[in-house]
Structure 1
């Protein structure tokens, strides 16, 4: 087929690859101008045509970010074809050729892949030919299942092959497939287990040239001793020779991988060393006991002393001779030394190690308080998971209710603008959309299920939890900021049109406009009862010729400004307290300003931190710009931003009444945006390392330093 040929509404730009059933072309829609992939079956038997048709129908039934999406199918002069997303990246086969992935990344890829296959299984579709060559890793790191040429669903199973015929790639076939038995969801789980092995070890699981389905498989930790034994257990269950002993489907396998990512446990090499040490210690103690029984001088205390020596040698914490329990002061001193050593570990390792230490030392009350405080603080110093890898711009985040995390970003390679809704707990994608231009404003309905977002194409409302729900155009105005009222009835926004715009989502009709302002309106926030609305705009304080930002608080019922705050350099964030009696403002110069709103005039209660009651010349809550503020349910304030060098970041918690800093968490990456969950237990951060979900909380003082 010539590269300049056309097929349907598409112009073929070039061939991406050829296979046994046809070819895949890069194509461009003649009217929309979007590029997609077009798979063509040039010629074939009736069986091949049926398989080709079945692949298109199977893909069209599944809408999942880890499964390629089909848009349409048809018949042209060159044969049958269907149109799907153009997935640019490289196959897992090419990725694994360069060596194993880091453990956490390998588990993340395997989990995403399993969730995509799980979406097939939920619809009764069995892939039957999973292998690294059929999975493409997008530039943003998302794995996508491509080839469903052998996929089978109950309503499509027409006995297209003879009984006992082998369909699939032999190196990734399950034992039952190699015997000619029908493939099930558990057969796909077996192939996913083999892919997991390659991702973590960088080598094929085949042994001595035999097919994996016909031989005993090695454990991943036998190839790389640094891999955890928990990985061996997950791999062994996924690749059990009996289908009944495997995970029931890919969704169950994905949950096991998620649990493994949360707590990988010790490596196989560590466990083997511990066993050898325990064996050596046991043999030594056995010799001592034998010597004592022959009159070596231990007398009646030999058994107790031997057990003490064994426990001390295995734990590495006791005395070197069998002298009985340590005196109380020495036990506490040793425990303190151990805790000081654990404090030097990286946060995630420190958190797990302290958990094991606490379980093993229930009798040391004073040190237990110290260990629990250290463990609590360690948990705040590493993310729960990463939602998006680096390589994007214009990241926006919010929480939709307490269960869903929402993010949007402009991906660089390939250029795509995404809006994604994920489950906060497990990371399962609820919905995802590709939009025409970068999203500039994003807001979630408090306690509801609606999202508002805006880009240069206008402002939209979307209910992602509803089946087949499409975004509804609310206004052709593009907004730089958006906010819902607490009851979800009103939506406010501002932008370059110089007005504060308020939509009544229940009554409809024309929106109300407040202003005008001299320039951009780029921050809005509702009070807790929805009557008062704060906005930041150029010239808000009424000063002509002033380019600094100013802040107005509007009474929406009266239609007038009730508070005006003098202009200052720049405002990056603002939020009302849960009671509505305070307004916190985050400045671009790092200042944190809190204003009381109970009198006739706004009252500055504190500006930045107070240090021993001495006012600072330029009081600053953060050494760099302050990029986000939010109130916890108890009325304390959370703030975040990058440090001056912008190679690290800080999250701090403040007492809104007196300005005391209650705690601080240093991050190894700049913080550009933040959103606090409604329950105050999680943070969504846009950082230099990607979009991440972090635990939220107040670091506790460490007893005794």
Structure 2
């Protein structure tokens, strides 16, 4: 018989009021009349279970409760007692007066990444404690995270999911018991689950905390299950430096997920990092080892005209392990005869796509034009690199595909002479493709980041060739490092690291002497590659801001640097370091591309917009509702390529 307010359970626990109900019973606020303290009592109900099976389920519930009672951790609700009363088990626990995480999200909406990271640190430590004791939760979700006084998160309902599974097995039903939005693929498939299942569910819980919604959802149970099993994890817009961690946690393969100890180590390192907090005051950033002590004076390839064309990739962080992330855009500089006729700023773009290139089915994460404008490269979430080649793209050519081992393609960029396509992703390997043979010419392996597990922080999210093509700058993730490579010898010639955020954008000046570095906390540094002096801060990380530097690009004369942050499109005078924001820009864009002559900027996200970098004003709303993750501008500035889910669309000027 279900409990009622005022009822005395087992002669000791007086029920006061029901405070929650789940898939297996109700939770009561109660008074322990023996010890005179407030407790929570979970009434476990077996309403649909035949009478002859209840004794076994009661025994199993008691065993699981006793196992959970061994866990002693500030992030785990303490189990005080388990008792049988009127044919049902009752679990007596520590009473937590605060709301559940789910209730907090319903009331306040999503939480910022800093607060989420603090919650995650306690939850991960609690899971590490449980897993070390051989206990797996199996039902991690926002409803099972309670917030005690002072915003201290505690996990409840350890062991209950195992009892639910037992109920299903004994009654021979095939019903999914639990919340499928927070269940890992192996659990939905009925496979054995271990600690890795809790880590996936933790990732989904943190995603919901950051975005205000679960990562996978749908109109039906079947749709949700199919999404979890087959779809890549959607990009977390607000995850900041947690984006890579979420992606790793929600890997489809349990073996690829970091365990609780590794995740705790990652979060601890994030918490230890000093953040640069003095606006407008240039400061030296730690540098290890010493950056280039000699000028970069390698001769330009013979095929590059003077002034040389430059092809720079600029883009965002956190596109990892099959998961969406801020997109990667590219900058094309026009030199000699390589850009077509007319000024880039002439005429409006068509308001509808003039062409949709055929081929991709995955989400497009990065785009790049070849210097001659005849080839478009796209990196997709499932690891395919697409190449479309056409004299004028008057018709939709079928894509050639390069499949670099199924890794996640987060960055693609052409060399200035167009003979090499560099690609990178989540396997610490940069591939240099011969664009003629479409075969890998060479690979570069990024050094393993210290203190960061192999499954975390190893993602290369941005690439940039120097104007002469001799150097390739690479960076990304939680590594807080940028690596500079000699393209011809394949040697790592310099490393920069610092105490700020991970690298999200890179850009060379037109003379190749200065490298601009953008980070996930929106800081921007300038590194003098000739003098080898430590980098200086051009833009400090704004206090309380949530986002990253999406892209960087120098003006052709090198006097101005443009950048797209989470909330601003802006420019800096390199000499005075004065920052000026574009007028009317308040859109959360995810990608940006600039024309080589400095007269056009294009931003993409929920909208595709055209901007005038000189006047810093909007020229045209090309498309509303673009929902794009990548954008590229043709060398002549007349065509925009837009990367979306399963499509690359081209927009042309009249």
Whether these two folds match at TM > 0.5 is no
Q: Which has the higher contact order (CA 8 A, sep 6+)?
A: 2
What TM-score, normalized to structure 2?
Answer: 0.43
Relative to its length, the structure with more helix (as a share) is 1
What TM-score, normalized to structure 1?
Answer: 0.40
